């Protein structure tokens, strides 16, 4: 692991300092969070021989969504899971856009089961300051499950937050809600595939110039890459790390 001077922490290959073969877990409130936030890094993990596990907290439900659209979205998730080569996918089944109405203890119970089964070295989770209440609810529950005195027994060594276009950038201008990055992952070889995978979410994809459009995804990755002098990167906030 290599550290750069100043405020930025450049880890070229997050969790790859163990030489590959570790488990990583990405937690998303909705399908597409994972691709927007860390899709390139997930592809990088797979290329390094790591196993990727994925848990989606919410699912679309009637009557807000018609049955045909619900089925279509489920099929999109299956295709994306195959594209990443995930070792296991959990659909936790909580109602989309209503995660803040779910008891935190109920969400924690399911997340705890996921973490115990995945035994991840690294966990990627949404930023707690995001504008979407589902994101905040998932972050809060995950932080309770991943308290520092629980991490070692769960096999977790590192917890990182990722940024999500149209949510992290849409948070109000309050200091405590800002996404402040101190970890960068070079995803230059994987940026095109990340955008291809995002296009698999046909029912949710933004077209340019909207924030989840392909040019915005590429632009954010280019900006993050410029910070560490590579072509494309993803940025993270290090929540905590156990150096044992």
- % of the chain beyond a pLDDT of 70: 92
Cβ atoms within 10 Å, residue 237 = 19
Q: What is the mean pLDDT of residues 61-90?
A: 95
Average pLDDT in the 223-244 region? 97
Give the whole-angstrom CA distance, residue 55 versus residue 88: 8
| More confident site: 212 or 13 | 212
CB 163 within 8 A of CB 233: no
pLDDT in tens, 20-31: 599 999 999 999
pLDDT value of residue 20: 57
> What was the pLDDT predicted at 17?
45
How do residues 95-123 score in pLDDT, each as one tens digit? 999 999 999 999 999 999 999 999 999 99
- Which of 1-15, 116-130, 217-231 is predicted least confidently? 1-15
| Reported confidence tier of residue 170, pLDDT bands at 50, 70, 90 | confident
Average pLDDT score over the chain: 91
171 with 177: CB under 8 angstroms? Answer: yes
Tell me how far the alpha carbon of residue 201 is from its chain's centroid. 16
Tell me the C-alpha distance between 164 and 37, whole Å: 5
pLDDT digits (tens, 9 = 90+) for 181-190: 999 999 999 9
Calpha distance 19→68 (Å, rounded): 44
The residue to which tokens 């405020």 are assigned:
7
Nearest in space to 121 (alpha carbons), one of 51, 44, 22, 54: 22
Band (pLDDT 50/70/90 cuts) for residue 48 is very high
Assign 236 a pLDDT band (cuts: 50, 70, 90): very high
Q: For residues 66 and 73, is the Cβ–Cβ distance under 8 A? A: no
């Amino acid at each position: 692991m290599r550290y750069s001077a100043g405020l930025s922490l450049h880890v070229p290959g997050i969790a790859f300092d163990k030489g590959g073969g570790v488990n990583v877990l990405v937690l998303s409130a909705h399908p597409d969070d994972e691709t927007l936030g860390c899709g390139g890094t997930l592809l990088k993990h797979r290329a390094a021989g790591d196993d990727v596990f994925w848990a989606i907290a919410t699912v679309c439900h009637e009557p807000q969504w018609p049955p045909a659209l619900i089925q279509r979205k489920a099929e999109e998730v299956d295709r994306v899971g195959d594209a990443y080569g995930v070792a296991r996918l959990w659909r936790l089944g909580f109602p989309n856009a209503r995660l803040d109405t779910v008891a935190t203890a109920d969400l924690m119970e399911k997340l705890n089961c996921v973490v115990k089964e995945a035994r991840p070295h690294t966990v990627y989770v949404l930023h707690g300051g995001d504008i979407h209440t589902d994101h905040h609810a998932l972050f809060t529950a995950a932080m309770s499950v991943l308290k520092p005195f629980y991490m070692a027994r769960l096999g977790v060594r590192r917890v990182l937050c990722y940024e999500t276009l149209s949510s992290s950038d849409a948070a109000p201008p309050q200091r405590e809600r800002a996404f402040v990055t101190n970890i960068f992952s070079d995803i230059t070889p994987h940026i095109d595939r990340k955008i291809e995978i995002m296009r698999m979410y046909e029912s949710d994809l933004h077209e340019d110039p909207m924030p989840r459009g392909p040019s915005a995804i590429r632009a954010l990755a280019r900006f993050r890459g410029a910070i560490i002098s590579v072509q494309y990167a993803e940025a993270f906030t290090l929540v905590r790390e156990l150096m044992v």
